[in-house]
């Protein structure tokens, strides 16, 4: 694509169409942009457009498209083509910083993100001058430019907060500190001075405080891994100024908005984070400053109101206290009973109250409420911070703190009892307090695993929780109902089984509650209870115990999916999946009606997939329906196909990328249930599965390979007779997979199935070419994973076609090749093969080479006979060699760039391990003994003499054991 006006014009039109709400206009435009993004100059056209277009909407759209293009294509992945030309890479890096700094803020943010994506790959090695170019702009004095630099630096460095320690990371951070720490400190001091100069100019203050907040975030990132020498030397400057900013109050920066945090709050919140980081990690160096920070933050907490805009500040301030109070050498600051009472009264209790803002979120923004309350993403809520502070204080002062709070809990419950309608929030706070007091350790899998012995959870459940669960009106006091359900869920490992069984029917009735939070919690609680394990590792709650409630459970779960706001509720869908899994055969009578509801739901969500977890559990539930019903009666598979195929066809025709991997897995499951033939509906689809475009997407590869394996297993012969023209396409897929280090094992799965299930004559003409491709890959890049798969393939070939065919095949490619493969690959590497089926294939294959291949007995290959036998005995008796060379680091499947659908494996579509040898060989050691016996009777005297001259003593002893076990002798 040339950089010219015509291309700019046409690209502008296509970008405009991508904003069109009509899918008929939007989709083709998106497809067009996808098709041209590999062309040289495409990213430069986007940059030109965002710089020069007169239309602001197009400029922003070009910026977003450019950022997404960089996100998808910048990373260079081994084995895959480089999607951005070198010339474009150089041009982008040369221009993007200046372009970002001269753009309006909306575009600046997109380009800043793009720089950090490029920086993650290229900085510092391939983009060494990035930082110096950025630091030079600090001198400009223009804070629009300076904030652009700070924002970019923040998105570039914030990964230091969660990267694992490594020499590479240390080197990079050192380089950043050498270039960046001093200018950042100078800028910090200068900005603080400017704040004093412009103390009465509100617009100037807004820009300066944005800079101070970004500088404070950068301080956090650069100090996170370790305390850098530079910051230790300059701690006085930073901490004195941080302390000054914490105590600053400028009326001009106060906002009237009750919801949105102002600049002052955001800055103080970040400073609390920075102080907490130092108090936790560098307490020795920070000790001189700690008392004044504790005082400042305490005063801040006591004087800050309950408005939502202060939430982040208050929670970070409380988190600071929580991190200080659990360190042994700050213990003395909290020992005094009055101090503890004061903290409980002034900080913890007020911040545990259920405010009107929480009530609004509960009613109107239930998804966000659930995310924060259930999934623990409530890191920045007051309640969570107060709860953490309670836990921190309990570390050293469990007795006094429990005593103080017991008084509060009793008085709150007393207030509630006087007038439940008025005072229900008191009970809510009491339950929250008890929960935070009682929980010491928690896991996703088991809920609370360690509890405070001073709190009687069972008594509290019976006296205060059960009444809410049993209340006949499920829609009354929904917050208290949700609290009660959550109590059962998090203390499920602490409550006795009979209490849990008592709760199950009550939870089932709460699935009908109008409140989204309430019925979601009920579904989640049931799902968690159903995963609990009993003493003998079976589920704690058995299908028999669920029998009286099964119908109501299934009814209410599916009805809950129809409640407003829960049409795609992932918790309900997960509870449906878990119920199917627990109840097993008990669901069979209900499946005919339920499958219709599930497929209808699938059709609806496939129009616009937006909830990945919901969709995943929906497919899992479909798999369970198929599995459980077909296990009871395999002929029902056709009724599932009738129900599912129309929806699957639509998904395939509309190319719903997110759903294709799932559809292929469910189809594999269905096809594997058929007895040995392929229905015509599947055969019609077969050619489409070989289309190259499907194989371009990483997420499709594992499920498509499995589906092709199912085709081969059920109908290798019918493919050979009615679709022989598709065999080259099948081998083309193998060729593509084998070339990739990430997917070569999938290529072997496919070729193994072809060898095992296709009639021999149908692939005779291709066999040599298959081996040539494999040898080319071996020469090009030999990895442990490839060699292990290659060994299994050679031996499977030998088992299937015989040892003579294997030897002749190798020697036809190149004279004496068979000997080279034995000497360089099989003998030294076989010890690396893992997996019971793989080991069995190799053992049987090598046994055949030793005992059914004449050229092993009387040609130059004979010298390899004993080493091969020795290797086989070692393979039986020695531990597996799982060493991997230092220079090999496998690309994880998940590590592919961009937002391609990663492969999501369905647990309940699991494939049974397939053994191509089956019962023909029970014990390979016995087979070896019998085969050697047979060989020795064919040429008497040869085998014992070969053994006695060169097999080592240990191996000989093992071999004697095999011969005795098989009751045969060598002659």
Q: Print the SS3 string covering 828-863.
A: HHHHHCCCHHHHHHHHHHHHHHHHHCCHHHHCHHHH
> Of the candidates 636, 639, 719, which has an alpha carbon nearest to the alpha carbon of residue 677?
719
Q: Are 748 and 713 in contact (CB under 8 A)?
A: no
- Position 705 scores a pLDDT of 96
Quick: pLDDT tens for 300-318. 999 998 888 999 999 999 9
**Is 70 exceeded by the pLDDT of residue 854?**
yes
Question: Which of the two residues, 257 and 349, has the higher pLDDT score?
Answer: 349
The DSSP symbol for 879 reads: P
* Long-range contacts formed by 370-379: CB under 8 A, 24+ apart: 370/516, 370/517, 370/520, 370/521, 370/571, 373/486, 373/517, 374/486, 374/521, 374/524, 379/315
Paired tokens of 383: 């309640």
- Position 137 scores a pLDDT of 92
Q: Once rounded to an integer, what is the mean pLDDT over residues 236-246? A: 97
- Position 894 scores a pLDDT of 33
SS3 880: coil
For tokens 């277009």, name the residue: 53
Q: Are 850 and 932 in contact (CB under 8 A)?
A: yes
Q: What are φ and ψ of residue 450, in 5° steps?
A: -130, 130
For tokens 């407003």, name the residue: 564
C-alpha span between 602 and 597 (Å, rounded) = 9
> Of the candidates 811, 812, 834, which has an alpha carbon nearest to the alpha carbon of residue 822?
811
Paired tokens of 290: 């700690």
Could you tell me how far CA 281 lies from the centroid of its own chain?
29
- Most distant CA pair in the chain, distance: 108
**Burial letters 850-888, b for 16+ CB under 10 A, else e:** bbebebbbeeebeebbbbbbbbbbbbeeeeebeeeeeee
**Is 80 exceeded by the pLDDT of residue 442?**
no
Q: Are 793 and 752 in contact (CB under 8 A)?
A: yes
Quick: pLDDT tens for 465-500. 999 999 999 999 999 999 999 999 999 999 999 999
- Position 443 scores a pLDDT of 67
For tokens 């009735």, name the residue: 509
**Burial letters 51-79, b for 16+ CB under 10 A, else e:** eebeeeebbbbbbbbbbbbbbbbbbebee
Confidence of residue 902 (pLDDT cuts 50, 70, 90): low
Paired tokens of 235: 């701690």
Could you tell me how far CA 321 lies from the centroid of its own chain?
33
Question: Which of the two residues, 127 and 537, has the higher pLDDT score?
Answer: 127
- Position 893 scores a pLDDT of 33
- Mean pLDDT for all residues in the chain: 92
Q: Are 846 and 830 in contact (CB under 8 A)?
A: yes
- Position 887 scores a pLDDT of 61
Q: Are 567 and 530 in contact (CB under 8 A)?
A: no
**Is 50 exceeded by the pLDDT of residue 892?**
no
Please provide the size of the chain in residues. Answer: 971
SS3 217: helix
C-alpha span between 466 and 641 (Å, rounded) = 45
Sign of CA dihedral 62, 68, 71, 76: negative
Sign of CA dihedral 921, 924, 927, 932: positive
**Is 80 exceeded by the pLDDT of residue 886?**
no
List beta partners, residue 447. 443
pTM for the complete prediction?
0.83
C-alpha span between 249 and 451 (Å, rounded) = 42
**Is 80 exceeded by the pLDDT of residue 198?**
yes
- Position 675 scores a pLDDT of 84
**Is 80 exceeded by the pLDDT of residue 689?**
yes
| Angle of helix 497-510 versus helix 550-560 axis, rounded to 10 | 40
Cβ neighbours of 538 (radius 10 Å): 9
Could you tell me how far CA 958 lies from the centroid of its own chain?
46
C-alpha span between 53 and 49 (Å, rounded) = 5
The DSSP symbol for 586 reads: G
Q: What are φ and ψ of residue 767, in 5° steps?
A: -60, -45
SS3 225: coil
- Position 890 scores a pLDDT of 41
- Position 261 scores a pLDDT of 87
> Of the candidates 849, 744, 755, 753, which has an alpha carbon nearest to the alpha carbon of residue 789?
744
Q: Once rounded to an integer, what is the mean pLDDT over residues 188-193? A: 96
List beta partners, residue 441. 450
The C-alpha angle with vertex 419 and arms to 418 and 425, in degrees rounded to 5, equals 110
Q: Once rounded to an integer, what is the mean pLDDT over residues 951-961? A: 94
SS3 533: strand
Q: Once rounded to an integer, what is the mean pLDDT over residues 602-630? A: 96
Quick: pLDDT tens for 390-441. 989 988 998 999 999 999 999 999 999 999 999 999 999 999 999 888 877 6
C-alpha span between 125 and 146 (Å, rounded) = 24
Judge if the upstream peptide bond of residue 397 is cis by omega within 30 degrees of 0. Answer: no
> Of the candidates 247, 359, 256, which has an alpha carbon nearest to the alpha carbon of residue 300?
247
C-alpha span between 293 and 919 (Å, rounded) = 74
**Is 90 exceeded by the pLDDT of residue 617?**
yes
For tokens 């040289």, name the residue: 40
C-alpha span between 108 and 783 (Å, rounded) = 44
Quick: pLDDT tens for 497-547. 999 999 999 999 999 999 999 999 999 999 999 999 988 889 999 999 999
Quick: pLDDT tens for 749-779. 999 999 999 999 999 999 999 999 999 999 9
The C-alpha angle with vertex 312 and arms to 298 and 202, in degrees rounded to 5, equals 90
Residues 6+ apart with CB under 8 A from 367: 516
Helices (H), 102-199: 105-122, 130-136, 143-157, 167-197
For tokens 């006094």, name the residue: 400
Ranking 560-569, 689-698, 892-901 by mean pLDDT, the lowest is: 892-901
C-alpha span between 489 and 522 (Å, rounded) = 9
Percentage of residues of the chain with pLDDT beyond 70: 97
* Long-range contacts formed by 362-369: CB under 8 A, 24+ apart: 362/478, 362/479, 362/482, 362/515, 362/517, 363/515, 366/515, 366/516, 366/517, 366/520, 366/565, 367/516, 369/517
C-alpha span between 269 and 619 (Å, rounded) = 43
- Position 377 scores a pLDDT of 60
| Angle of helix 836-852 versus helix 924-938 axis, rounded to 10 | 0
Element (H, E) at 626: helix 612-632
**Is 50 exceeded by the pLDDT of residue 897?**
no
């Amino acid at each position: 694509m040339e950089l010219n006006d015509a291309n700019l014009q046409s690209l502008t039109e296509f970008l405009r169409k991508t904003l069109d709400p009509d899918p008929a206009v939007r989709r083709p435009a998106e497809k067009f942009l996808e098709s041209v993004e590999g062309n040289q100059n495409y990213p430069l056209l986007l940059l030109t457009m965002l710089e020069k277009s007169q239309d602001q909407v197009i400029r922003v759209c070009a910026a977003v498209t450019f950022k997404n293009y960089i996100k998808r294509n910048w990373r260079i992945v081994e084995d895959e083509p480089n999607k951005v030309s070198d010339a474009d890479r150089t041009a982008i890096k040369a221009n993007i910083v200046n372009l970002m700094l001269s753009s309006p803020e909306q575009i600046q943010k997109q380009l800043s993100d793009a720089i950090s994506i490029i920086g993650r790959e290229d900085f510092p090695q391939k983009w060494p001058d990035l930082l110096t170019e950025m630091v030079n702009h600090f001198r400009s004095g223009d804070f629009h430019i300076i904030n652009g630099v700070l924002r970019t630096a923040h998105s570039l460095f914030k990964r230091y907060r969660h990267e694992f320690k490594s020499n590479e990371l240390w080197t990079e951070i050192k380089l950043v500190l050498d270039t960046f720490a001093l200018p950042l400190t100078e800028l910090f001091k200068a900005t603080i001075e400017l704040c004093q100069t412009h103390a009465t100019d509100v617009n100037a203050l807004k820009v300066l405080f944005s800079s101070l907040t970004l500088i404070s975030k950068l301080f956090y990132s650069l100090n996170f891994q370790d305390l850098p020498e530079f910051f230790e030397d300059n701690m006085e400057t930073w901490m004195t100024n941080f302390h000054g900013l914490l105590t600053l109050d400028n009326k001009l920066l106060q906002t009237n908005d009750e919801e949105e945090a102002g600049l002052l709050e955001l800055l103080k919140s970040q400073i609390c984070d920075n102080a907490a980081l130092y108090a936790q990690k560098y307490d020795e160096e920070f000790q001189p400053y700690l008392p004044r920070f504790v005082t400042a933050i305490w005063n801040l907490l006591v004087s800050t109101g309950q408005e939502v805009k202060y939430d982040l500040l208050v929670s970070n301030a409380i988190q600071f206290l929580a991190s200080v109070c659990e360190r042994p050498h700050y213990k003395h600051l909290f020992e005094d009973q009055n101090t503890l009472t004061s903290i409980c009264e002034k900080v913890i209790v007020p911040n545990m109250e259920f405010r009107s803002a929480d009530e609004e979120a509960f009613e109107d923004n239930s998804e966000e409420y659930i995310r924060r309350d259930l999934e623990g993403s409530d890191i920045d809520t007051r309640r969570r911070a107060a709860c953490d502070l309670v836990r921190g204080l309990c570390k050293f002062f469990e007795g006094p703190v429990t005593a103080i709070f017991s008084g509060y809990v009793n008085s709150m419950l007393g207030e509630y009892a006087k007038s439940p309608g008025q005072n229900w929030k008191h009970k809510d706070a009491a339950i929250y307090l008890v929960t935070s007091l009682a929980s010491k350790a928690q896991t996703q899998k088991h809920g609370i695993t360690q509890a405070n012995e001073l709190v009687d959870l069972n008594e509290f459940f019976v006296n205060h929780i059960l009444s809410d669960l049993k209340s006949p009106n499920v829609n009354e006091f929904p917050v208290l109902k949700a609290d009660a359900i959550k109590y059962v869920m998090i203390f499920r490992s602490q409550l006795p089984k009979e209490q849990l069984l008592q709760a199950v029917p009550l939870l089932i009735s709460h699935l009908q509650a109008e409140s989204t939070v309430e019925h979601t919690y009920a579904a989640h609680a049931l799902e968690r209870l159903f995963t609990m394990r009993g003493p003998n590792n079976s589920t704690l709650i058995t299908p028999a115990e669920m029998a009286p409630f099964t119908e109501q459970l299934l009814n209410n779960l599916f009805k809950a999916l129809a409640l407003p706001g829960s049409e795609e509720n992932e918790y309900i869908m997960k509870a449906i999946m878990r119920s199917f899994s627990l109840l097993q055969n008990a669901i069979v009578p209900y499946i005919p009606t339920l499958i219709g509801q599930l497929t209808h739901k699938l059709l609806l969500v496939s129009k616009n997939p937006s909830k990945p977890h919901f969709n995943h559990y929906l497919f899992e539930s479909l798999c369970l329906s198929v599995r459980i019903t077909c296990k009871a009666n395999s002929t029902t598979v056709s009724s599932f196909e009738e129900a599912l195929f129309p929806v699957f066809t639509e998904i395939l025709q509309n190319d719903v990328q997110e759903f294709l991997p799932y559809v292929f897995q469910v189809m594999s499951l269905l096809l594997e249930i058929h007895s040995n033939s392929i229905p015509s509906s599947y055969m019609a689809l077969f050619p489409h599965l070989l289309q190259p475009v499907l194989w371009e997407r990483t997420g499709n590869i594992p499920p498509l390979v499995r589906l092709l394996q199912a085709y081969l297993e059920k109908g290798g012969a019918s493919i050979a007779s009615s679709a022989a023209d598709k065999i080259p396409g099948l081998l083309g897929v193998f060729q593509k997979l084998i070339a990739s280090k990430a997917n070569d094992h999938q290529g072997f799965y496919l070729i193994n199935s072809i060898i095992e299930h296709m009639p021999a004559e149908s692939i005779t003409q291709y066999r040599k070419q298959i081996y040539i491709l494999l040898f080319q890959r071996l020469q090009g890049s030999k990895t442990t994973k490839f060699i292990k798969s290659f060994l299994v393939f050679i031996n499977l070939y030998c088992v299937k076609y015989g040892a003579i065919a294997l030897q002749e095949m190798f020697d036809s490619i190149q004279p004496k090749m068979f000997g080279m493969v034995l000497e360089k690959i099989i003998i030294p590497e076989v010890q690396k093969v893992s997996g019971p089926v793989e080991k069995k294939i190799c053992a049987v294959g090598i046994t055949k080479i030793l005992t059914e291949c004449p050229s092993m007995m009387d040609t130059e290959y004979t010298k390899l006979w004993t080493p091969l036998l020795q290797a086989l005995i070692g393979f039986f008796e020695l531990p597996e060699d799982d060493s991997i060379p230092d220079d090999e680091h496998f690309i994880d499947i998940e590590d592919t760039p961009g937002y391609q659908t990663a492969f999501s494996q369905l647990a309940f579509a699991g494939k049974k391990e397939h053994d191509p040898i089956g019962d023909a060989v029970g014990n390979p050691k016995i087979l070896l003994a019998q085969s050697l016996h047979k060989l020795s009777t064919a040429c008497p005297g040869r085998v014992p003499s070969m053994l006695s001259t060169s097999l080592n003593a240990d191996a000989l002893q093992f071999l004697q054991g095999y011969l005795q076990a098989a009751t045969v002798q060598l002659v």
